[in-house]
């Protein structure tokens, strides 16, 4: 089937300019795009594009697909594969990544297409599933980690930003990211890059090597990447190295050393001057508003916490293909990775039992003691470490059935991800070191408390590195996730219609996936201080699937697309099954215009952690107790009644699949040679979404129910179903308890199918390429995503949370824009690209902060035929979206990073065949 000249040229430009970084393509690309308008139509080689198993001549189909070239990632000024994916305009949701601090997965980076969360995007490598990160994202859902994907092995990345369960099965609700690795390379190339940040920290080095060739019927390619990155500390960023500098509320930093009355909450004064040399000489006494007394702390309380992790990485890749004959080819690829990551969330911190009677002072007390870097020996001694290993292997055969035109692919795939997580912990004997042996019990106001003869000077006596090592240890948790599958697919032409042949593809799959989390056995043996009971978690499930896809040319200008698929999962005596379908059309009323649309159903099998978690217990740091806020007359948004809350959660084998429906429609128009514009509307609706009962919502609802009204004064029925459920999930001390009255002692959480989520929006893009005789060649791209709506409802009848317009619940950028301009003249080339992020809530919850623009750039010079030198800069303006409205950390975590300007010098050299082969 021929592609009309103008549309073919426009679509050729579209694929090279699909993202700002793609606008860097060299003048050797896309000969068809430079063909004169009068050139006759030519037959394009059929390719398979993500979103369909039927090869096609046109790049553009019924659903939009973005293509990123692997070699253009560095040229676009991006730090990594993850960095370029985050700047997709379609990636509108916030996520917790390496710079977020205290999370379940501080060593993993994920994306959130359409703002639906990382678990609703299917990630493939060469069209095959890969293992999830073995630790559940946010403690709940499974997601794929992008932090270790090496750019040197990537041929291209294809992103389908729409539902595709009828093609790929579970998870493909928000979209599909297909990372396609290189299968061919001539010669050997090496790349050396060094760089750092202008504001300090983050020095990094990277070495890449890729080579390959052909030897008769055998073709091979190999790659290697080694990298090292130093951490960035909060103390290296002027806006965040002080806890109090921008805090207008008068709140002091948390305690480093303190003695408190747990009944009245006042502090007993300490002599902090003797320890003033700690924390870089900044330790001093602080007073807390509304509470008497003082404690010892420092405005640099969080300065020794990492913004960016320390990381070492090694990744290798190899791919081989062997032609048995003209019709049959054997293939195999293997990728293995190793990474060592360290993150520091806070200094080692000890607290006494919630309340004890001190015989030495004759009063009820609770003690707090944070160990400073000077005492521990270094600021990295308490780092949380992750030693991670990954491998993916695929073996298969592909070919054709004689001269029939039918082709087949049979493949076996296995992917593993292992992570050994090391955590700092005090030994159980630490209580006795600070308090001495328990002397008995003491009756106080009708309650019994443990008693100690604890000398307060013990608390203020500095430790040294040797003593600290004796009091502490490191626990080791071993986590693993894996997936494996066998697949067989065929494609060909079924019938010849007047407008062309009917294209057909069919696939059958069988697979298995599982995970295991193995905590350190010393935890349950009582050897680790203040540790909750830890269970071995894990599970396994099998899946089977069959699918069919049709491409029907209805008449010369209109093509219909249809696909259907059946998936079945079995595990632990349970089974779930789901059928999905996809309908689409492509209408070309004239040469330069494509009208397109899709309607799809989709699903997601319940997350493994939601199914198999065994009585997970832990704590959520810094939860706000809204009920006590109201009792003290504080507003919900500016309340300082915050503390760590214990929770208990367990899996649910009775969960059902999450169900989705979506539709898209739009156009691609190429009015001029080298120019194309596109617009697409999308709408996604998810029902029966699994939710783990958001603790903040439970606490807010529970407070409203206990008070009988909302904060705004709207009456609330305490006997309603939602009130009864919320109150039962929050376990509190009695109002008249002598210690910590009304304090939350436990939150009871579990996953259920209940939630409904909807989102809609518009994607716009435009691309233009032009050439001048004197000034060289230029490429320009602009794209915008506007989220029109994004609503979430946890239970039927609950209030709907607006993730776009509500300052309290906003989780998306309403508008995200990117643009790029690249230039090439002789041996010189340069690129500037920018991403504008729309308005997001201020840290204090009072309104929104203004939009933020990030600009990257690169300049390259070819040294002869084989070498190239480049300067790459990320964040040219050295801008950080500082937000001082709620004090430390004075920027909006999760929405933005705090790295500032980063730069790299890069040198490339090619051995062997022609340059760039």
User: What are the tens digits of pLDDT across the range 309-324?
Assistant: 999 999 999 999 999 9
- pLDDT tens digit sequence for 411-440: 999 999 999 999 989 999 999 999 999 999
Whether 505 is in a domain gets the answer yes
Whether 532 is in a domain gets the answer yes
Q: What is the pLDDT of residue 99?
A: 65
The answer to whether residues 157 and 50 touch, using CB atoms and an 8 Å cutoff, is no
The answer to whether residues 396 and 332 touch, using CB atoms and an 8 Å cutoff, is yes
DSSP code, position 155 = E
For the residues 262-288, what does the mean pLDDT come to?
Answer: 90
**Does pLDDT of 497 surpass 70?**
yes
For the residues 362-370, what does the mean pLDDT come to?
Answer: 95
Same domain, 34 and 162: yes
Same domain, 710 and 576: no
Lowest mean pLDDT among 288-297, 329-338, 386-395: 288-297
**Does pLDDT of 32 surpass 80?**
no
Q: What is the pLDDT of residue 36?
A: 30
Q: What is the pLDDT of residue 248?
A: 66
Give whichever of 616-630, 656-670, 903-917 has the largest mean pLDDT. 656-670
Give dist(CA 456, CA 448) in Å, integer. 22
Q: What is the pLDDT of residue 316?
A: 95
Q: Which of 852, 875, 898 marks a domain boundary?
A: 852
Whether 563 is in a domain gets the answer yes
The answer to whether residues 321 and 218 touch, using CB atoms and an 8 Å cutoff, is yes
Q: What share of the chain is helix, strand, coil (3-state, %, to 5)?
A: 10, 50, 40
Exposure class string for 720-729: b at 16+ Cβ within 10 A, else e: eebbebbbeb
Give dist(CA 767, CA 58) in Å, integer. 17
- Residue 692 pLDDT grade (very low, low, confident, very high; cuts 50, 70, 90): confident
**374 φ, ψ (degrees, to nearest 5):** -65, -35
- Residue 57 pLDDT grade (very low, low, confident, very high; cuts 50, 70, 90): low
Q: Which of 852, 883, 905 marks a domain boundary?
A: 852
Q: Which of 854, 843, 852 minimizes the C-alpha distance to 884?
A: 843
**Does pLDDT of 294 surpass 70?**
yes
Same domain, 763 and 737: no
For the residues 146-175, what does the mean pLDDT come to?
Answer: 90
Measured from the Cβ of residue 343, the count of other Cβ atoms closer than 10 Å reads 25
**Does pLDDT of 1 surpass 80?**
no
| pLDDT above 90: percentage of residues in the chain | 67
- In whole numbers, what is the pLDDT of the chain averaged over residues? 88
Give dist(CA 77, CA 483) in Å, integer. 34
- pLDDT tens digit sequence for 698-728: 999 999 999 999 988 999 999 998 899 899 9
| pLDDT above 70: percentage of residues in the chain | 93
Q: What is the pTM of this model?
A: 0.86
The answer to whether residues 225 and 313 touch, using CB atoms and an 8 Å cutoff, is yes
Residue 6 or 669, more confident? 669
Q: Which of 538, 604, 603 minimizes the C-alpha distance to 572?
A: 538
Give dist(CA 104, CA 692) in Å, integer. 15
SS3 355: coil
Same domain, 718 and 763: no
Same domain, 605 and 740: no
- Residue 13 pLDDT grade (very low, low, confident, very high; cuts 50, 70, 90): very low
Residues 6+ apart with CB under 8 A from 177: 85, 111, 113, 121, 122, 123, 124, 157, 158, 159
Whether 907 is in a domain gets the answer no
688: left (phi over 0), alpha (psi -120 to 50) or beta: left
Give dist(CA 538, CA 540) in Å, integer. 7
SS3 634: coil
Q: What is the pLDDT of residue 76?
A: 79
Lowest mean pLDDT among 28-37, 367-376, 466-475, 508-517: 28-37
Whether 554 is in a domain gets the answer yes
Q: What is the pLDDT of residue 913?
A: 66
* Cα torsion through 341, 346, 347, 353, rounded to 10: -120
Q: What is the pLDDT of residue 717?
A: 94
SS3 469: helix
- Residue 299 pLDDT grade (very low, low, confident, very high; cuts 50, 70, 90): very high
**Does pLDDT of 41 surpass 80?**
no
Same domain, 668 and 632: no
Whether 62 is in a domain gets the answer yes
Radius of gyration (C-alpha) of the chain in whole angstroms: 30
Residue 595 or 36, more confident? 595
Same domain, 534 and 418: yes
What's the domain count of the chain? Answer: 2
Q: Which of 65, 734, 846, 842 minimizes the C-alpha distance to 445?
A: 734
Q: What is the pLDDT of residue 101?
A: 56
For the residues 857-868, what does the mean pLDDT come to?
Answer: 95
First to last CA, the chain: 30
For the residues 349-376, what does the mean pLDDT come to?
Answer: 93
Give dist(CA 646, CA 746) in Å, integer. 5
Same domain, 546 and 684: yes
Whether 93 is in a domain gets the answer yes
- Residue 613 pLDDT grade (very low, low, confident, very high; cuts 50, 70, 90): confident
Q: Which of 710, 728, 745 marks a domain boundary?
A: 745
Whether 916 is in a domain gets the answer no
Give me the CATH number covering residue 49: 2.40.170
- pLDDT tens digit sequence for 872-900: 999 999 999 988 887 888 888 778 889 99
Residues 6+ apart with CB under 8 A from 470: none
Same domain, 833 and 843: yes
Cα 508 → chain centroid: 30
Same domain, 722 and 765: no
Same domain, 705 and 806: no
Residues 6+ apart with CB under 8 A from 6: 37, 591, 592, 670, 673
Could you tell me the CA-to-CA distances from 632 to 636, 640, 703, 743 in Å, in that order?
11, 10, 13, 13
**187-197 and 902-911 beta bridge pairing:** antiparallel
Q: Which of 114, 74, 345, 321 minimizes the C-alpha distance to 233?
A: 345
- pLDDT tens digit sequence for 776-826: 999 999 999 999 999 999 888 788 999 999 888 888 899 999 999 999 999
Q: What is the pLDDT of residue 842?
A: 87
Give dist(CA 147, CA 581) in Å, integer. 33
The answer to whether residues 630 and 162 touch, using CB atoms and an 8 Å cutoff, is no
- Residue 569 pLDDT grade (very low, low, confident, very high; cuts 50, 70, 90): very high
Same domain, 565 and 596: yes
- Residue 17 pLDDT grade (very low, low, confident, very high; cuts 50, 70, 90): very low
Domain encompassing residue 736: 616-649+693-745
For the residues 203-220, what does the mean pLDDT come to?
Answer: 95
For residue 677, what are the β-bridge partners?
Answer: 669, 766
For the residues 164-182, what does the mean pLDDT come to?
Answer: 93
């Amino acid at each position: 089937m021929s592609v009309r000249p103008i549309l073919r040229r426009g679509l050729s430009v579209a694929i090279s300019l699909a993202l700002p970084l793609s606008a860097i393509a060299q003048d050797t690309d896309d000969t068809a795009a430079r063909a004169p308008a009068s050139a006759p139509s030519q037959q394009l080689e059929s390719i398979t594009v993500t979103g369909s198993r039927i090869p096609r001549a046109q790049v553009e189909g019924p659903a939009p697909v973005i293509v990123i070239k692997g070699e253009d990632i560095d040229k676009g000024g991006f730090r990594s594969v993850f960095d370029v994916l985050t700047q997709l305009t379609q990636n509108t949701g916030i996520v917790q990544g390496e710079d977020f601090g205290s999370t379940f997965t501080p060593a993993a980076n994920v994306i959130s297409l359409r703002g639906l969360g990382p678990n609703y995007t299917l990630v493939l490598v060469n069209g095959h599933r890969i293992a999830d990160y073995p630790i559940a994202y946010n403690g709940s859902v499974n997601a794929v980690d992008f932090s270790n994907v090496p750019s040197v092995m990537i041929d291209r990345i294809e992103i389908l930003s729409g539902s595709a369960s009828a093609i790929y099965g579970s998870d493909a609700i928000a979209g599909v990211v297909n990372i396609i690795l290189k299968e061919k390379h001539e010669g050997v190339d090496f790349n050396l890059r060094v760089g750092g940040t202008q504001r300090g920290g983050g020095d990094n080095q990277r070495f890449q090597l890729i080579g390959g060739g052909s030897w008769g019927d055998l073709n091979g390619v190999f790659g290697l990447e080694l990298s090292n990155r130093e951490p960035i500390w909060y103390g290296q960023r002027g806006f965040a190295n002080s806890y109090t500098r921008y805090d207008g509320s008068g709140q002091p930093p948390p305690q480093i050393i303190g003695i408190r009355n747990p009944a009245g909450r006042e502090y007993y004064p300490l002599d902090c001057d003797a320890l003033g040399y700690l924390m870089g000489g900044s330790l001093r006494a602080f007073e807390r508003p509304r509470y008497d007394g003082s404690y010892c702390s420092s405005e640099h309380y969080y300065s020794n916490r990492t913004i960016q992790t320390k990381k070492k990485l090694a990744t290798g890749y190899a791919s081989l293909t062997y032609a048995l004959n003209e019709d049959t080819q054997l293939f195999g690829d293997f990728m293995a990775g190793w990474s060592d990551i360290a993150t520091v969330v806070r200094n080692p911190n000890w607290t006494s039992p919630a309340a004890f009677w001190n015989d030495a002072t004759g009063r009820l007390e609770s003690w707090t003691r944070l160990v400073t870097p000077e005492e521990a020996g270094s600021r990295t001694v308490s780092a949380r470490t992750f030693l991670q290993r990954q491998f993916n292997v695929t073996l298969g055969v592909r070919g054709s059935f004689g001269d029939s035109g039918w082709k087949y692919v049979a493949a076996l795939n296995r992917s593993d991800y292992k992570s050994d997580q090391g955590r700092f912990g005090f030994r159980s004997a630490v209580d006795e070191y600070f308090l001495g042996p328990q002397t008995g019990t003491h009756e106080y106001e009708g309650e019994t408390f443990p008693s100690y003869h604890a000398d307060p000077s013990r608390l203020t006596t500095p430790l040294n590195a040797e003593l600290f090592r004796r009091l502490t240890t490191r626990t080791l948790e071993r986590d693993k996730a894996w997936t494996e599958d066998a697949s067989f697919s065929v494609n060909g032409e079924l019938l010849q219609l007047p407008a062309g042949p009917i294209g057909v593809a069919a696939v059958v799959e069988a697979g298995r996936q599982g995970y295991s989390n193995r905590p350190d056995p010393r935890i349950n043996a009582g050897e680790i201080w203040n540790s909750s009971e830890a269970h071995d978690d894990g599970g396994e499930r099998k899946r089977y699937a069959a699918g069919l896809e049709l491409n029907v040319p209805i008449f010369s200008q209109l093509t219909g697309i249809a696909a259907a698929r059946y998936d079945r999962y079995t595990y632990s005596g349970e089974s779930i099954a789901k059928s999905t379908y996809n309908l689409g059309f492509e209408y070309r009323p004239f040469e330069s215009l494509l009208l397109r649309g899709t309607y799809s159903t989709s699903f997601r099998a319940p997350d493994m952690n939601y199914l198999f978690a065994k009585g997970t217990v832990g704590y959520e740091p810094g939860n706000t107790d809204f009920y006590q806020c109201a009792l003290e007359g504080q507003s919900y948004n500016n309340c300082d009644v915050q503390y760590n809350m214990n929770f208990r959660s367990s899996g649910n084998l009775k969960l059902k699949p999450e169900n989705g429906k979506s539709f898209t429609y739009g156009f691609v128009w190429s009015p001029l040679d080298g120019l194309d514009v596109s617009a697409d509307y999308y709408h996604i609706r998810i029902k029966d979404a699994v939710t783990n009962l958001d603790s903040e919502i439970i606490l807010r609802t529970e407070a409203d129910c206990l008070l009988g009204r909302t904060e705004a004064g709207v009456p609330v029925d305490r006997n309603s179903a939602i009130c009864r459920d919320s109150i039962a999930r929050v376990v509190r001390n009695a109002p008249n308890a002598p210690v910590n009255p009304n304090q939350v002692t436990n939150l009871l959480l579990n996953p259920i199918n209940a939630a409904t989520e909807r989102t809609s929006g518009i994607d716009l893009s435009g691309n233009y390429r032009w050439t001048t005789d004197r000034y060289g060649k230029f490429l320009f791209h602009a794209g915008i995503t506007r989220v029109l709506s994004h609503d979430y409802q946890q239970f039927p009848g609950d209030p709907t949370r607006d993730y776009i317009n509500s300052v309290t619940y906003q989780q998306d950028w309403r508008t995200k824009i990117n643009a790029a301009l690249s230039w090439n003249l002789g041996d010189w080339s340069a690129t500037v690209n920018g991403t504008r992020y729309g308005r997001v809530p201020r840290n204090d919850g009072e309104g929104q902060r203004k939009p933020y623009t990030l600009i990257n750039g690169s300049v390259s010079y070819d040294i002869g035929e084989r070498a190239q030198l480049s300067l790459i800069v990320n964040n040219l303006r050295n801008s950080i979206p500082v937000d001082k409205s709620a004090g430390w950390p004075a920027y909006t975590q999760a929405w933005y990073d705090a790295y500032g300007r980063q730069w790299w010098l890069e040198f490339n050299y090619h051995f062997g065949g022609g340059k760039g082969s």
